[in-house]
Amino acid sequence: MALTLALVGGFVDAVGYITLLGVFIAHMSGNSAAMGAHFGQGKFAPGVARAAPIPLFVLGVAGGAMLIEQLTRRGIRSTAAVVLGLEACLLLAVMLLGDASLSHGVVAAQNGWTFYVLIFLAATAMGLQTSALRRLAGKTVRTTFVTGMLTHLGEEAAKFVLPSTRPSASSSRLRLLTAVWVCYAAGAILGGWGHDQWALNALIIPLVILVAVIGVDLVRPIHGV
């Protein structure tokens, strides 16, 4: 599930990056640095464009976490299915809005209502996915951005090299962390290619994958959410 969702995360992030002229919808470190750089240079509009996804992504994570908590308290086991279902609805809205209002699936400029509505839908969707799966194999898992995953990978690798009083690294965790990065990068490559071929209609691919993951979670709930 982590690998599948990482593929979706990379795909959607790449499509969003192209559609929104270089604004990330999941990589908030990049948006934060770009926001600061633009504001520092006195470029207000580009700075606002990079700042906009940040609170929306946090809102998606917080909303997903609260929803999972409430569902768990009510005894619902397939919490990931509900959260990922909401993500799928938001991505479908991105696809339909982009198909109706954009030329070749790319905004004309980083302003206007369409630009910010797309940011709202896409960044919130990525926040929801981040909350859907939090831990696997004893490690924190992130499927919509990979900086934290690479940090965990480096820490686990260091345990193989240096003696430590802490628990030794697990080869299964190392393989998981490496595979998540590979799947995310592969998803981004596919997302870039798909956008070139079908513009925002390429989002049908991650939507189909999400539907499949939702079906699996309804049959066998994902552990670690």
For the stretch 105-139, pLDDT in tens is 999 999 999 999 999 999 999 999 999 877 655 56
**What mean pLDDT is predicted for residues 171-180?**
83
Residues of the chain with pLDDT > 70, as a percent, come to: 92
What does the alpha-carbon distance between residue 91 and residue 25 come to, in Å, rounded to a whole number?
12
Tell me: the pLDDT tens digits for 47-95? Answer: 999 999 999 999 999 999 999 999 999 999 899 999 999 999 999 999 9
> What are the tens digits of pLDDT across the range 178-205?
899 999 999 999 999 999 999 999 999 9
Q: How confident is the model at residue 165 (pLDDT cuts 50, 70, 90)?
A: very low
pTM above 0.85, yes or no: yes
Could you tell me if 176 and 139 are in contact, meaning their C-beta atoms sit under 8 angstroms apart? yes
Higher pLDDT among residues 21 and 151, named by residue = 21
Nearest residue to 16 (alpha-carbon basis) of 128, 146, 123, 111: 123
Q: 186: burial class by Cβ within 10 Å (0-12, 13-18, 19+)?
A: middle
| Per-residue pLDDT at 156 exceeds 80 | no
Q: What DSSP string describes the chain?
A: -HHHHHHHHHHHHHHHHHHTTS--SS-HHHHHHHHHHHHHTT-HHHHHHHHTHHHHHHHHHHHHHHHHHHHHHTT-S-HHHHHHHHHHHHHHHHHHHHHHH-BTTB-SSS-SHHHHHHHHHHHHHHHHHHHH--EETTEE--SS--HHHHHHHHHHHHHHHS--SSPPPPHHHHHHHHHHHHHHHHHHHHHHHHHHHHGGGGGHHHHHHHHHHHHHHHHSPPTT-
Determine the pLDDT at residue 164: 59
- What's the pLDDT score for residue 135? 61
Among all chains, which residue has been given the structure tokens 């990056």? 17
Q: Where are the domains of the chain?
A: 2-219
* Residue 93 pLDDT: 98
